[in-house]
Amino acid sequence: MSTQPLSYKMRPKSIDDVLGQSHLVGEGKIIRRMVEAKKLSSMILYGPPGTGKTSIASAIAGSTNYHFRTLNAVTNTKKDMQQVAEEGKMSGSIILLLDEIHRLDKGKQDFLLPHLENGTIILIGATTSNPYHAINPAIRSRCQIFEVHPLEEKDIKEALNRALKDQTSGLGSMNVSIDDDAAEHFILSSHGDVRSALNALELAALSTKQDEDNQINITLEDAKNCMQQTAFLHDKDGDQHYDVMSAFQKSIRGSDVNASLHYLGRLVEAGDLVTIARRLIVIAHEDIGLANPPLAGRTLDAIIAAERLGFPEARIPLSSAVIELALSPKSNSAIKSIDNAMSDIKSGHIGSVPKHLRDGHYSSAEKLGNAIGYKYPHNYPNHVVKQQYLPDSLKNKKYFVPSSNTKYEQQLEDIYDKLNGLT
């Protein structure tokens, strides 16, 4: 019996066998065009685990009859790459699938570059990290970059059906059947990862006893025992994590409470309480801010409660905070106001602190004219007095721009206007 896992044996032999990724391998799409024209260029495929990056590389090689080798950027050495280059010279060109390409060190990179330039090696880099962030520009500039998407449920179902029927590479010779609810469990629990679905199916087939008719029937209970629901595609250090965080904040900002709770649920499943807490505090001040000032305090209270409780109970106060944040009035005047001020500062529009505001708590300050003429507000009616606070070059600047759609900010604007009207 072969020791290779089912997911390996079921890899596509040609571009027509690739599941999903129609934006790349569909009729008229770029990778299919490359294969049909037999005009390949180096590329980087990036996306979550089990979505077909290696399968696409294998299919390209199978459809074009190029020599094909697989290496890992971390575990394989520069000498291994030299051997691939020699094979490429002998055959005219060779496809090298380089896994974890984002971890390629400079020595290996410098070796590969000239071989990519002259076409000896056609590189297909595979990574779960965003190549625009993680891959050296020298390599990136010589490759086309393609994002590989998680497979849809229909694609996972098709992969399972192929494996059950395939007499050569699959389980077709084992007389295996699967209940509908068991197949659905494999499909849903894989979260678009065909590798995990196929390997769970294989484990179920090999570990389930035959009945009196020598048939192996996989039930829902078998499926649950072979593929736990925790197969959740979320890497706290990966790009998908940042995409989920982005969608989380944008859903709250957009007042979609259902989407907000969905993305909160994904972050809770990932177990990243620290990042959830930080993001909620940011949202409370950036997106709600002066539209509902007490909410920032209530959000912090919910976070403190969540941190005291820990998961799984932490999800309850977090849910309360997210629901209230999503349904609250919104205002970004606080962040806009400080960014307006900082924009001037970064552009060099600073100016000197007016002399009457300068520190006068040292000898000789008076000789320099510092702190002379300063009006102490508490000595005046209502504890306010008209005087210049901004530098001369900025004295008429207005950084605070209140939102007009919230009651509290209208009150702040009224105060602002009265203060500016002082003589």
What domains lie within the chain, and their CATH numbers?
21-147 (3.40.50.300), 153-226 (1.10.8.60), 239-327 (1.20.272.10), 333-420 (1.10.3710.10)
Mean pLDDT, to the nearest integer, of 81-87? 92
pTM: 0.61
Mean pLDDT, to the nearest integer, of 58-77? 89
Task: Read off the amino acid at residue 415.
Answer: I
Which range among 71-75, 193-197, 273-277, 301-305 has the greatest average pLDDT? 301-305
Mean pLDDT, to the nearest integer, of 245-270? 92
Phi, psi (rounded to 5 degrees) for 160:
-65, -45
pLDDT at 231: 45
Instruction: For residue 230, name the pLDDT band (cuts at 50, 70, 90).
Output: very low
pLDDT at 413: 82
pLDDT at 319: 96
Task: Round the average pLDDT of the chain to a whole number and report it.
Answer: 88
Using a pLDDT cut of 90, give the percent of the chain over it: 45
Instruction: List the end-to-end C-alpha distance of the chain, in Å, as a whole number.
Output: 93
**What is the dihedral sign for C-alpha 123, 128, 133, 136?**
negative
Instruction: For residue 375, name the pLDDT band (cuts at 50, 70, 90).
Output: confident
In this predicted model, what pLDDT tens digit does every residue of 156-184 receive, in sequence order?
999 999 999 999 889 988 989 999 999 99
Mean pLDDT, to the nearest integer, of 278-283? 95
Mean pLDDT, to the nearest integer, of 129-157? 87
pLDDT at 2: 59
> Which of these ranges, 129-143, 230-244, 258-272, 334-348, has the smallest mean pLDDT?
230-244
CA-to-CA dists, residue 50 to 7, 25, 80, 292, 382, angstroms: 9, 17, 25, 44, 67
pLDDT at 151: 86
Residue 144 has pLDDT above 60, yes or no: yes
In this predicted model, what pLDDT tens digit does every residue of 296-328 receive, in sequence order?
999 999 999 999 998 899 999 999 999 999 999
364: left (phi over 0), alpha (psi -120 to 50) or beta: left
Residue 419 has pLDDT above 90, yes or no: no
Higher pLDDT among residues 376 and 368, named by residue: 376
In this predicted model, what pLDDT tens digit does every residue of 386-407 receive, in sequence order?
888 889 888 888 888 887 777 8
Mean pLDDT, to the nearest integer, of 121-128? 91
Mean pLDDT, to the nearest integer, of 263-289? 91
Residue 197 has pLDDT above 70, yes or no: yes
Using a pLDDT cut of 70, give the percent of the chain over it: 96
Instruction: For residue 155, name the pLDDT band (cuts at 50, 70, 90).
Output: very high
In this predicted model, what pLDDT tens digit does every residue of 23-45 receive, in sequence order?
999 999 999 999 999 889 999 99
pLDDT at 71: 92
